[in-house]
Amino acid sequence: MTMLSTFIKPMHREGYRFVGIFAAVTLILFLIWQPLGWIGVCLTVWCYYFFRDPDRVTPVREGLIISPADGVVQMIGKFAPPEELGLGTEPMTRVAVFMNVFNCHVNRAPIAGRIEKIAYRPGKFLNASLDKASVDNERNGLTIRMDDGRAIGVVQIAGLVARRIVCEVNEGQAINTGERFGMIRFGSRLDIYLPEGVSPLVAIGQSTVAGETVLADLTSQESPRAGAVR
């Protein structure tokens, strides 16, 4: 790792158009008034930063469920999964990860398996931090079926500012843990529905890194973890 690579990261292809627009507007702002141009420079850098797509080192031990998103664990509880995922009506443990506009927004598969179902549902654009956003907001859900027959649900939820959910995989496709499957623009949330009997190994308020942070372990009998601010 070099000093340059610490700050300069690859960019998701969704970002090229937006960075180009920001850069063009910045040139116009410089022609109007130089201080406005420097504000444009800052916004262009932020736009690039938003669409960054760095490589991640994913734990590969069998049974590990990895965070699909950068952000903060906002909610953990028992909720019925969206009906379109085909996971039944019984409550499942749901871990909600909230992403703000400064997080990397590329989403990654929490577990290896086959994508059994992809279900898009239009909806509202409420603040993604609200609990009812999981029901009312526009969303796109994936059901990933593991080799042992169990399934995990992953739901991309649009937010107050986010207006586009990008899904880059297809039904029937095999996917590996940590593999990219999409992103959301700009600020949003991901819900992860864990199989029965699996407890989360993260706590509310904990920061997560997509493709790296362990959310749960299918082979563990450990009780749910609590967190404390230090």
Catalytic residue from among 5, 129, 134, 188 = 188
Is 199 an active-site residue? no
The strand order across the sheet containing 164-167 reads 106-108, 180-185, 164-167
Catalytic residue numbers read 188
